[in-house]
Structure 1
Amino acid sequence: MFPSHRLDQVQASLTMAIDAKAKQYRAEGKDVLGLAAGEPDFTPPESVRRAAKEAIDAEKGRYTAVPGLPELRAAAAGHFEASTGLSVRPEEVIVTSGAKQAIFNALYVLCDPGDEVLIPSPYWTSYPEMARALDLKPVICPGDDDLAVDPRSLAQGITDRTRAIILNSPSNPTGRVVTEKRLQQIADVLRPHPIWVISDDIYGRIVYDGFRFANLPMVDPSFQDRSILVDGMSKTFCMTGWRIGFAAGPQAVIMNMSKVQSHSTSCANTIAQWAAVAALREVGDEEVHRMIEAYEARATFLCGVLDSIPGLTTPRPEAAFYAFPNVSAYFGKTLDGREVDSAMSLAEMLLDEELVAVVPGEAFGAPHHLRLSFALGMEDLRRAAERLQRFFARLR
């Protein structure tokens, strides 16, 4: 009787075992350094915290309309216009309980059971499982040698059942930004086919000097009528637990996403919505730029450390707050009788031996890699770096 057969298709998160053990060690009083969480270590801006308190005091905690506060839909539309240059009206925006719900709702509305969804790899760990949970078929399209989205791989993955593609730039886990030239090549592949584009732009403002965020309809506006742009408050405004995301797209699609949402979460958290209004209206570029500068300094430091470890190959992050080294040179090596046979086993050993938590690449369709988040203070990052160097030096 339990569980449902639908769950047979959905894989448990590969990060859960690492996370559970890290929590166990912390509960035992051990000094675990976390390079696993995709969560900024900065606090939300003061104006955001103040707006939440004022909303509570003003008793503004009742249900909103399903697609969100009118003020937030308007602010989010302005955000999309400012970041993309595309015209977006408030009625073309829905507010969701995090960007993850926006992606899930979009897949629910755009696809039927048995349809196929193109997912370039490396991918964010939840994309394939969202598709499977909806009885869709994720079609994994391997990236090129530089881990960038490969248009040829996408072309090979298209069938008459392909209904959508999920594009994520800047990328979690690689920290890469898809170039405008590459986006144009992707557009050329997709244009002849009736394929919806779900563009996960959650890291779009956390881009380093010398790189520029763009998405598919920005380079080819003809795609705007078949694109769902997804963003949220978690990364840029450090509001991870507040759970506010939003999507912009054709009004008919947004209306149907609202229909789905009305039977699941009803609406996003009202107090958090008022805080998000303040964030989008009041938080200036200077605050965001200070955070980006801190991330870029950490990226330089951590990649320098990883480059000093023999055998590791680490592409320089262009955005977000992740390093994604190739660790396959250490497969087959041992430590105290334990053999490294995968990125997962390497991550487990690193946690056991040095109390450093990272995410194995299997979670992202990249089994030769580890994902290391540098969304933690520089002091802790330096301590983690010492442990990483010691750990890899001990492998024989």
Structure 2
Amino acid sequence: MSRTSHSFAPPVMEARRWLDGVQFTADRPLLNLSQAAPVDAPPEGLRAAIAEAAMHQTDAHLYGAVLGRDDLRAEVAAQWSAAYGGQIGAQNVAITSGCNQAFCAALATLCDEGDEVILPTPWYFNHKMWLDMTGVRSVPLPAEAGLLPDPERAATLITPRTRAIVLVTPNNPGGVEYPSNLVRAFFDLARKHGIALIIDETYRDFDARTGAPHDLFTDPDWDDTLIQLYSFSKAYRLTGHRVGAIVTSPARLEAAEKFLDCVAICPNQLGQIGALWGMRNLGQWLAGERAEILDRRAAIQQGMPRLADRGWDLKGVGAYFAYIAHPFAPGSDVLAPKLVQDAGVLLLPGTMFTPKGDTSGARHFRVAFANVDRAGIGTLFDRLAALGGPGWPLAPKAASA
């Protein structure tokens, strides 16, 4: 049996197949809320910087350092030190071919076959896929009220084979921002048990809070426990260039270098040059992008009462995502393809973010609103509010409400 046979098909690719053969009209075009990736090109200045490097910078076309360009590593370290109020050096930073690769590299330094990693559910499906394909057991930690994981419940799941706890904040798929004291509680729990705390902060640039989202980097020995992951894709629209980062101890990066050298040798040079230019020049532009995402978040919250009257429930919202419970009897995995046909809406069902047998997944959808503005969100609510009739029977609880 192959390693890949232990995992499921990529969910976003599966969802795209639901579009096959479906005709959309000019008065009801497809609303695609399935993927959290900006579809617009990077700002012109960033594109010009990449073009300039492509034409005139020879090393932009050559193999580079496995752990990334020195200038970008140093810039991340400097900006992170200022943002989090901690001491982070370039030796603590590695650049990777996207944040998914950063996660895979981190796990390669931590786990052997048969080890365990605690994942709060609903989880990010690519994390689960990678653990499956490497023979590492994913231990579900069901979210509590507000889609927040409970450190005390996590403590009961730790065994001698546990190697890490993974947090995603702002969360994918739930959108929620984990409070600083909750993140600190997980850090203390991980340190107590001698395991790693992996925090995926892909969406940190769109956090609604001001200031540092947690204080872990202020701990002088933070790198004995913390592994932070980051993506430049969302901040600077560099999805096709594949640029991410790991922030952790130099010793762990030395181990990660073995993995990275075998899968990509080095991260994309032009992407790194673009990311560095973005970090140095696009602070004000990124603030505008954040303000737009926060306005879309507000539009979700303001529009939900219309759906709440019909039995829908907003469980979490933030960054690029909302996680909503539906009122219908069939599960979300059955309803998601019907949404394409009946409403012209593409959403991912909660079953793609939960373990098999977890009934909560069937009650939820993830709404990824990175590419749908306030008007589009209003259209989404119009279409969802109109659902009903054959194939859309209300669940008993919703029908009696």
TM-score (norm 1): 0.89
Residue 199 of structure 2 is matched in structure 1 by 199
- Aligned-residue offset at 1:392: 4.8
1:110 aligns with 2:106: no
Which consecutive unaligned segments of at least 5 residues does structure 2 have? 355-359, 394-401
Given that 2:184 and 2:214 are in contact with CA atoms closer than 8 Å, whether structure 1 keeps it comes out as no
* Aligned CA-pair RMSD: 2.3
Residue 9 of structure 2 is matched in structure 1 by 12
Given that 1:22 and 1:32 are in contact with CA atoms closer than 8 Å, whether structure 2 keeps it comes out as no
Cα deviation 1:351-370 (Å, max 9, x = unaligned): 12111100101111150210
Residue 150 of structure 1 is matched in structure 2 by 150
- Aligned-residue offset at 1:384: 2.8
CA distance in 2, matches of 1:221, 1:314: 39
CA distance in 1, matches of 2:145, 2:265: 43
Aligned pairs for 1:38-117 within 5 A: 38-58=36-56, 59=58, 60-117=60-117
Given that 1:26 and 1:32 are in contact with CA atoms closer than 8 Å, whether structure 2 keeps it comes out as no
- Aligned-residue offset at 1:252: 1.1
- Aligned-residue offset at 1:85: 2.0
Counterpart secondary structure, 1:68: coil
CA distance in 2, matches of 1:54, 1:137: 46
1:326 aligns with 2:322: no
Change beyond 3 A, Cα 1:124–1:33: same
TM-score (norm 2): 0.88
- Aligned-residue offset at 1:27: 9.5
1:356 aligns with 2:339: no
Aligned pairs for 1:276-355 within 5 A: 276-284=275-283, 286-309=284-307, 310-315=310-315, 317=317, 319-327=318-326, 329-330=327-328, 332=329, 340=330, 342-355=331-344
CA distance in 2, matches of 1:112, 1:355: 44
- Aligned-residue offset at 1:306: 3.1
Change beyond 3 A, Cα 1:112–1:256: same
Residue identity in the other structure for 2:5: D
Given that 1:72 and 1:277 are in contact with CA atoms closer than 8 Å, whether structure 2 keeps it comes out as yes
Per mean C-alpha deviation after superposition, the further-off stretch among 140-149 and 222-231 is 222-231
Find 2:368's aligned residue among 373, 388, 391: 373
Q: Identity over the aligned pairs, expressed in percent?
A: 26
Query: How many residues of Structure 1 are paired with residues of Structure 2 in the alignment?
Result: 380
Which consecutive unaligned segments of at least 5 residues does structure 1 have? 333-339
Cα deviation 1:157-211 (Å, max 9, x = unaligned): 1001101111111101111111122223323433320111211111112112x56
- Aligned-residue offset at 1:256: 1.5
